Amino acid sequence: MPNMKYIGLHASGGADQMYLAEGPLPNCGPNEVVIKVAAAGINRPDILQREGLYDPPKQASPVMGLEAAGEVCEIGLAVEGWNVGDKVCALCNGGAYAEYVAVPAGQCLPIPGDLSLVEAASLPETFFTVWANVFLRGNLSRGDSILIHGGASGIGVAAIQLSKAFGATVLATARSSAKCKACEKIGADWAIDSRSNDFASQVMRITDNVGVDVILDMVGGDYIRKNIKCAAVEGRIVNIAFLAGAVSEINFMPIMIKRLTLTGSTLRPQTPESKRKIATDLNKKVWPLIASGKIRPIIHDCFSMNEVAEAHLMMEENQHIGKIIMTVD
C-alpha cells in the first residue's frame, strides 16, 4: 500500500516535537474527496493541538491541519459536483499537514479567480470562521459598525476586508503601530494600538459614546469586560477564542440594560451539514469578491514541510500580518 508524508508528533509540547513522518494514505469515505495537497494553512488551533490542549473530534484525523488547497485525486461513491483533477481549497476536519487529506465534499470550494493554490490555502479556515461568526451569529449588516480584535491576524485581515465589502464601519485592534497601519491599509477605518491605549475608551470616543454593533473577539481575558463597555445598545459580542483566558469577572447589569447578545462558536465540532451550508454561502456571496480582487488573501510567509517548526514558532511570536502557509513538496 502506498505511503504519504505527513507531520507527526513525538509527544505533546513545543514545535520541536513535530517531525516528518510516513504513513498510509487516507481512506476516502462515500461523501468525501481525497485531495493531493499543494499547500496548507497554519492556524492557532494547530498550535493548541500540538501542545495537547485541543483534541481533534472523534472520527477526525489526528494529524494537524485545518485547511488545504490542491487537486482532487479520488471521489467517494456518493459525491456529486466534483471530479478527479479539480483544483479546490477545503476546510478540513484535520489532516491537512500531509501530502493527501480526505475531506467531506461539502467543505470544498473552487479556487476563486486566478489565485494560486498557495493563496487559496489561506482562505478556508479564516473565511468559514468569519462568515459563521460575524455574519451568521453576529448578524453584521450594511451600515453597522464592528470592532475586530487581532486585526492583523489571519482571521483579522479576513474580517476587516469582508466587513468593509458588506458596508460596515470597521474598527480594529492590534498590538503594534506597524500592525495598526496594516489594518488601515486593508480597509479598517480606525486601528487602535491596544498596547498603549484602552481600546474601550477609544471606541467610545470614536463612536461619540454610541459603541459598536458587533465585536469579534479572539482574546478574552480582560477584553471580555471591556467589550461589554464599548458595545452599542443591542450589540452582539462574538467570541471565537480566549488566548488571554476564558474566565472573567463581569458586571451583568450593562448586558441587561443594553440588551446585549454574548455568543460564540468554534468550527471544528460542527456537523458536515452545518459546514456545507457555510461553504454554500461563501461560494455565492464571498468567492466572487475574491475572484474580482475586491478581497485578497494576505500571506505573511511560506514554509516547506521540513520547516514546519519554524512556521509554528513564527505564529507563536505573534509578529506576523495575515496568514502563514506550509507548502507540500
Average pLDDT, the chain: 97
Q: Which residue has the cell 461589554?
A: 228
Q: Which domain holds residue 252?
A: 127-264
End-to-end Cα separation, the chain, in angstroms: 21
7-35: per-residue pLDDT in tens?
Answer: 999 999 999 999 999 999 999 999 999 99
Number of domains composing the chain: 2
Task: Give me the CATH number covering residue 229.
Answer: 3.40.50.720
DSSP state of 298: -
Tens of pLDDT, residues 204-236: 999 999 999 999 999 999 999 999 999 999 999
Residues 252 and 276 in one domain: no
**Of residues 329 and 326, more confidently modeled:** 326
Bridge partner residues of 301 (DSSP): 324
Residue 299 sits in a domain whose CATH number is 3.90.180.10
List residues bridging with 36 in a β-sheet. Answer: 71, 100
**pLDDT class for 247, splitting at 50, 70, 90?**
very high
Average pLDDT over residues 277-286: 98
Separation between Cα atoms, residue 64 and residue 264, nearest integer Å: 23
The reported pLDDT for the residue numbered 1 is 61
pLDDT per residue as tens digits for the range 132-179:
999 999 999 999 999 999 999 999 999 999 999 999 999 999 999 999
Q: Are residues 136 and 61 in the same domain?
A: no
Residue among 68, 319, 293, 66 nearest 161 (CA): 293
Residue 210's alpha-carbon distances to 134, 202, 222, 258, in angstroms, are: 20, 12, 21, 11
Which residues fall within 8 angstroms of residue 223, CB to CB, at 6 or more apart? 149, 199, 217, 244
Considering only residues 219 and 329, tell me which one the structure prediction assigns the higher pLDDT: 219
**Does residue 5 surpass a pLDDT of 70?**
yes
Domain check: are 141 and 254 in the same one? yes
Show which of 232, 264, 296 is a domain's final residue: 264
Contact in structure between 117 and 41 (CB atoms under 8 Å): no
Q: Which of 236, 264, 292 is the last residue of a domain?
A: 264
Q: For residue 313, what pLDDT is reported?
A: 98
173 and 148 in contact (C-beta within 8 Å)? yes
Same domain, 276 and 229: no
Q: What is the DSSP string of 206-248?
A: HTTT--EEEEEES--TTHHHHHHHHEEEEEEEEES--TT-S--
Global pTM reads: 0.96
Cα(300)–Cα(129) distance, integer angstroms: 19
Confidence of residue 291 (pLDDT cuts 50, 70, 90): very high
259 in the same domain as 132? yes
